[in-house]
Structure 1
């Protein structure tokens, strides 16, 4: 799979809350710029391992642009909104909030995400499934 000019969203594949947001990004990705990988997948575990990141704690969202950067937690969320553009880019105003505070809010939501999640999972369409990375 060609990752050039793409952003990879790494998420907890066993979390209904995370799956909801992956579906939301898919629906709003009008520029076809995002790919997705569960942190539990071979590709996700390799990403974490290569950066000496925690392999078992899957409560952190990562946004990766090959050869450029990776962001995590609230910084990743804000960057995704900015990249989606349009009305979502207005979330960029939240960058004025210090990262330690916005990450605390992120951690609180992540800690309770299983309780927040609905029992329904988003099922991607056939075309959307092409955006999911399983293995290399």
Structure 2
């Protein structure tokens, strides 16, 4: 699988993360992103290719093909900046120390299932979302 699009890997069973994916699709007017759950075959492969342990990663991962990958708060801020407009000002938050930004990110990540809930299986994208997802969708099992 080769793509020049930036790739977002997200926790496919997290309600907060699934909502964030819908937000990205709505605001990705320049078709910058493709998406895959961390738990998917392609998500795991993309992590292994970058020497990220898929069994230890629960963070959002942003892959900029041929350049770099980003995790946690840096990934979130770089994703938001792609939307343009007021979102471009997120670069200001990147000037905060990574330790502080990731501490806030980790607090939210640690409590995301308790605060927002969790699905039993990865989300099944609807027709609009499906065009943004990498890999095949098995609708019988609700897995990507």
Pairwise same-fold verdict (TM > 0.5): yes
Q: Deviation of residue 30 (structure 1)?
A: 0.8
Q: Deviation of residue 52 (structure 1)?
A: 2.2
Correspondences of 1:70-89 after superposition (within 5 Å): 70-89=69-88
| More moved, 125-134 vs 38-47 | 125-134
Consecutive unaligned residues of structure 2, counting only runs of 5 or more, are: 137-144
> 1:100 & 1:10 partners in 2: Cα distance?
22
CA-based RMSD of the aligned residues comes to 2.1
Contact 1:35-1:132 at 8 Å conserved across structures: yes
> 1:65 & 1:19 partners in 2: Cα distance?
21
Match of 1:106 in 2: 105
Residue correspondences, number: 134
Q: Aligned pair in 2 of structure 1 residues 114, 43: CA closer, same or farther (>3 Å)?
A: same
Normalising by structure 1, report the TM-score: 0.88
Match of 1:133 in 2: 134
Normalising by structure 2, report the TM-score: 0.83
Correspondences of 1:30-109 after superposition (within 5 Å): 30-109=29-108
Q: Deviation of residue 58 (structure 1)?
A: 3.9
Q: Aligned pair in 2 of structure 1 residues 124, 88: CA closer, same or farther (>3 Å)?
A: farther
Contact 1:11-1:62 at 8 Å conserved across structures: yes
> 2:37 & 2:118 partners in 1: Cα distance?
18
Work out whether 1:20 is the aligned partner of 2:26: no
| More moved, 123-132 vs 98-107 | 123-132
Consecutive unaligned residues of structure 1, counting only runs of 5 or more, are: none
Q: Deviation of residue 2 (structure 1)?
A: 5.2
With a CA cutoff of 8 Å and minimum separation of 6, indicate the structure with the bigger relative contact order: 1
Q: Deviation of residue 119 (structure 1)?
A: 7.0
